[in-house]
A and B are shown apart, each in its own frame.
Chain A
């Protein structure tokens, strides 16, 4: 039996598409190019095969995703994950929330922040810097007009410079994008047996 995950967890679920993914053996040359299929790289997830229905978007999105989450300098990788996680919690994308909470905990070698967020949501007890990051990212995710100058000032007061703030904007916004694919086009399925 497959069980759709209903609560936030760091245990990364399986993703089950709601539409039929592209079949790799029937992919067009453009789709294969977007999928980066090479003789040594022929394993592709259902999620990416689903997005291959729109290969022009997929081809530009993957390098942009990597640039925003992994480019050097600016906001730390772990703090970019807070932007990703805040968006995913607002949008209730349980799959993305699991992946990026797990990544944050791994990068920080500490699960306290994500434990707090999953247990208490916006009432989580966080340090000043994490609180400013999470609040700004949550507001920008819920409705862009909710975020205001005071939220940016709170980031500056917490010690972020403008390069770091731009990276937070980008990583948060990126998950406004990713959540609208992952959460809309599929379901998160528990990977452990049902209790």
Chain B
């Protein structure tokens, strides 16, 4: 079955089954449950979500943002969205950058301060983002490709967190 193939498709460095993907594991959705059956019906889509996580958190070409930095930023965004378990999952990969996972940390260099402020705003107040926010990154010496990489990381986390929360609500309210 196509769904079964997708459920066992490659995710990250190992082969991860559908129910071990970040969204289903974090939502606490089990295979033999009503929500699990519904999720299996969209197995192709949900395994593609895991492939997207790999692409934004652990890309081959990292540009300016190392895997550790990306994990720290992902953890920070999860914290801002009151998702502590997801934040801890990402923080485990943040190594020496782990302190940045704490939203109270504002950075100790001009460019880091600018990057963290930008990421927080895009995560929590995207409607208020204006052209000057991009100009601030550029003025801090962040190249255009690295700006796009920051946006992709932030945007993916917004998506992933909402899928986790939605699945969890479905699980919690299922008959």
Contacts and interface: CB of A to CB of B under 8 A. Distances in A.
B114 to A, nearest CB: 14
Interface in A136-157: 140-141, 143-145, 147-149, 151-153, 156
26 contacts: A18-B131, A19-B138, A56-B60, A61-B152, A64-B49, A74-B42, A91-B127, A92-B127, A144-B165, A145-B81, A166-B41, A166-B42, A166-B167, A170-B166, A173-B158, A173-B163, A173-B166, A177-B155, A178-B155, A179-B126, A180-B126, A180-B151, A180-B154, A183-B129, A185-B147, A185-B148
Interface string A60-104: 110110011001011000000000000000111100000000000
Interface of B: 34-35, 38-39, 41-42, 44-45, 48-49, 51-52, 54-56, 59-61, 63, 81-83, 122, 126-127, 129, 131, 133-135, 138, 144-145, 147-149, 151-152, 154-156, 158-167, 169-170, 172-174
Contacts of A184: 122, 126, 129, 133-134, 151, 155
Residue picked from A59, A167, A170, most chain B C-beta under 10 Å = A170
- The number of chain A residues touching the other chain, given as a range, is 35 or more
A183 B45 contact: no
A60 B48 contact: yes
A114 interface: no
Given A19-B148, A60-B51, A148 B169 contact: yes
A162 B151 contact: no
A8 B157 CA distance: 26
Q: Is the interface of A mostly helix, strand, loop or mixed?
A: helix
Residue picked from B149, B167, B173, most chain A C-beta under 10 Å = B173
B5 to A, nearest CB: 15
A140 B166 contact: yes
Contacts of B148: 19, 50-51, 53-54, 185
A86 to B, nearest CB: 12
A169 B48 CA distance: 15
B144 A147 contact: no
B12 to A, nearest CB: 12
Q: Is the interface of B mostly helix, strand, loop or mixed?
A: helix
A162 to B, nearest CB: 4
B59 A162 contact: no
A151 B166 CA distance: 10
A176 B42 contact: no
Residue picked from A156, A168, A180, most chain B C-beta under 10 Å = A180
Contacts of A147: 165-166, 169
A51 B156 CA distance: 13
B157 to A, nearest CB: 9
Contacts of A9: none
Interface in A40-60: 50-51, 53-57, 59-60
